[in-house]
A and B are shown apart, each in its own frame.
Chain A
Amino acid sequence: MELVRINNNLNYKANGENTSLNFVIDSNKEVNLFVDEFESLDELIFDVSDYSILHLSLFAKKSINSLKITANIGENSKIIVHFADFSVEKHHLDAVINLNKNNASAEWHLASLSTNKDDKEINVSIYHNHSHTNGKIDNYGVCKDNSKLIFSGISHIIKGCHESSSHQNAKIVVFDNDCKAIAKPILKIDENDIEASHAAVVGKVSDDHIFYLTSRGLSKEEAKMLITLGYLKPILKGFDGNVANDINQLIEGRL
């Protein structure tokens, strides 16, 4: 395992020599980290020390085998993840975020496109191991052709972790009859004094949305495209100019 300490913004390109990487963010830092070409790795670990903020951007464009992401968040610290998943073929991704200390928080944003015969399972869990911790998961997906896309994950607030909040949102828009999409956000709550919600939506583009957009002159195809892009494009705000452009081109090209 390679250990990488970061104190400043970093664009890190995995060189393929190691199968796992451990990034450590020291105390009292706010850094942007973009990890490039991580698709061949098995494991990514992020340790965010106390009083720090990590803005993590991940963009997968090739095939991933099986990847485990773990993040450990310290006191008054935060991780904000933007994951643009445009990987192809079959993969299984497990992400676990541990909110270990007081006032630790996590935001996870994922946009995933599944086409052709892709077979993807993305499992994102947040464990609230301390009081006053906040977690938010937003998983958005588009599923086409013969592909399969599964969003799962657990938000677990353990007993005694009072005044914590956990929210999960999983939405997949389905294009074709032969694709398979499943969203199963799970809440496990062992404490009473908390705030939690989960939502799952899987379905075709809403007829009312299409009517609204077509009533302004857009063709049905244009309306459907605009609505679908609306599932994927919000992820762009987690990326810098050039990478955001690459992702944008990929979205429009693949749809």
Chain B
Amino acid sequence: MATLKIKDLHVEVEGKEILKGVTCNISEGETVALLGPNGHGKSTLLNVIMGHPRYKITSGSLFLDDLDITNMTTDERARAGLFLALQNPCEVPGVINSDFLRAAVNATNEEKISTYKFYKMLDGATKELKMPFDLATRSLNEGFSGGEKKRNEILQLLLLNPKIAMLDEIDSGLDVDAIQVVADVINKEEDQGMGFLVISHYARLFDLIKPTRALVMINGRIVLDGDPSLIKRIDQNGYEFIKTELGISIEKENAQMNEVSIGTCAVKEVIKN
């Protein structure tokens, strides 16, 4: 059983430290909820695990079992069994979805699969996700609705069959029926041994996928690693109890407000600056 081991991970972006010592494990067969206020590093953690070049690991390590993946390239990590469903999957014009999916399946399998076998897999997976097959023949995510993009991420997950899958707000943009379809896939794959690390701000998805554990990330650190009852507590009461019970003050998201806003004379404000 594969385990992703994150040890004292420090990460910075453009000189600013975002993750300040993250330590946690995620194993195959478990579903872990990753919670936390906006801007505290949840998406950063997932992107770093996948090897996004924008993020720089300054210290700490990432292991998949005994394999040190800290300095591996993104594609090597994918081939080792990691998967990230993006919060905002990008549109890649001209790249046909099925061509991309086939290239991806061939890249992650030791043997190249036949065209017939691939289309059979694709047909099965699109049916499971109740996706129209023609989405597979269009340009990758181009002109897809928000929900179609998210389903397309799960389609990739089904075809690539990773050991550990990370889902970054997979439920945003999905309607109630689509959330159910995606949750069914997650539950089925979990039963078959896939591990999940899931970010969501809504209890609805977690009610359906029933995480085995919950992590809470505040100020770039995991401050709580506990049972799934945490999800309900946070859903009902927010993050205030972290402050009162753990004595951790929650840093505000430091997105600077533009000084020029509706209601001010934009030209005047700009000239003044």
Q: What residues make up the interface of A, taking CB atoms closer than 8 Å to B?
A: 140, 206-209, 211-220, 222-223, 226-227, 229-234
Give residues of chain B (150-184) contacting chain A, Cβ–Cβ below 8 Å.
156, 160
Selected from A207, A217, A220, A229, the residue in CB contact (under 8 A) with B95 is: A229
Interface presence of B267 (CB below 8 A): no
0/1 per residue, B99-115, Cβ < 8 Å to A? 11001100110000000
B78 and A226: CB pair below 8 A? no
Known A-B contacts: A211-B52, A212-B89. Give 11 more (CB < 8 A).
A206-B90, A207-B53, A213-B100, A214-B75, A215-B77, A217-B108, A226-B99, A226-B100, A230-B92, A230-B94, A230-B95
List B contacts of A140 (CB < 8 A): 94
Cross-chain pairs A/B with CB under 8 angstroms, 24 sampled = A207-B53, A209-B92, A211-B53, A211-B74, A212-B90, A214-B73, A215-B77, A215-B86, A216-B78, A216-B107, A216-B156, A217-B78, A217-B79, A218-B103, A218-B104, A219-B75, A219-B107, A222-B107, A226-B100, A227-B95, A229-B94, A230-B94, A230-B139, A232-B94
List B contacts of A232 (CB < 8 A): 94
Chain A binding surface, main DSSP class: helix
Per the bound structure, the CA–CA distance linking A212 and B96 in Å amounts to 14
A219 CB to nearest chain B CB (Å): 5
Decide yes or no: A217 and B73 within 8 Å by CB, A209-B90, A226-B95, A230-B92 being known contacts: no
Per the bound structure, the CA–CA distance linking A215 and B104 in Å amounts to 9
A129 CB to nearest chain B CB (Å): 32
Decide yes or no: A215 and B84 within 8 Å by CB, A220-B75, A222-B103 being known contacts: yes
Q: Could you count the A-B residue pairs with CB atoms below 8 Å apart for me: how many are there?
A: 78
Q: What residues make up the interface of B, taking CB atoms closer than 8 Å to A?
A: 50-54, 73-75, 77-79, 83-84, 86, 89-90, 92-96, 99-100, 103-104, 107-108, 139, 156, 160
Most buried by A among B74, B99, B103, B108: B74
Per the bound structure, the CA–CA distance linking A94 and B117 in Å amounts to 47
A98 CB to nearest chain B CB (Å): 29
A234 and B78: CB pair below 8 A? no
List B contacts of A216 (CB < 8 A): 78, 83, 100, 104, 107-108, 156, 160
List A contacts of B77 (CB < 8 A): 215
Decide yes or no: A218 and B90 within 8 Å by CB, A213-B100, A229-B95, A230-B139 being known contacts: no
List B contacts of A220 (CB < 8 A): 73, 75
List A contacts of B156 (CB < 8 A): 216
Most buried by B among A140, A209, A212, A222: A212
List A contacts of B86 (CB < 8 A): 212, 215
List A contacts of B83 (CB < 8 A): 215-216
List B contacts of A207 (CB < 8 A): 53-54
Per the bound structure, the CA–CA distance linking A140 and B94 in Å amounts to 10
B108 and A233: CB pair below 8 A? no
Chain A residue with the shortest CB-CB distance to B79:
A217
Selected from B50, B51, B84, B107, the residue in CB contact (under 8 A) with A218 is: B107
Decide yes or no: A214 and B74 within 8 Å by CB, A227-B92, A230-B94, A230-B139 being known contacts: yes
Per the bound structure, the CA–CA distance linking A211 and B88 in Å amounts to 13
Selected from A213, A215, A222, the residue in CB contact (under 8 A) with B92 is: A213
Decide yes or no: A212 and B103 within 8 Å by CB, A217-B75, A230-B139 being known contacts: no
A214 and B78: CB pair below 8 A? yes
Decide yes or no: A226 and B53 within 8 Å by CB, A209-B90, A216-B78, A220-B73 being known contacts: no
Decide yes or no: A233 and B107 within 8 Å by CB, A215-B74, A220-B75 being known contacts: no
Per the bound structure, the CA–CA distance linking A234 and B139 in Å amounts to 10
B103 and A226: CB pair below 8 A? yes
B100 CB to nearest chain A CB (Å): 6
B94 and A233: CB pair below 8 A? yes
Decide yes or no: A217 and B104 within 8 Å by CB, A211-B53, A227-B95 being known contacts: yes
Per the bound structure, the CA–CA distance linking A196 and B103 in Å amounts to 38
A105 CB to nearest chain B CB (Å): 22
List B contacts of A230 (CB < 8 A): 92-96, 139
A217 and B107: CB pair below 8 A? yes
List A contacts of B84 (CB < 8 A): 215
List B contacts of A211 (CB < 8 A): 50, 52-53, 74
List B contacts of A227 (CB < 8 A): 92, 94-95
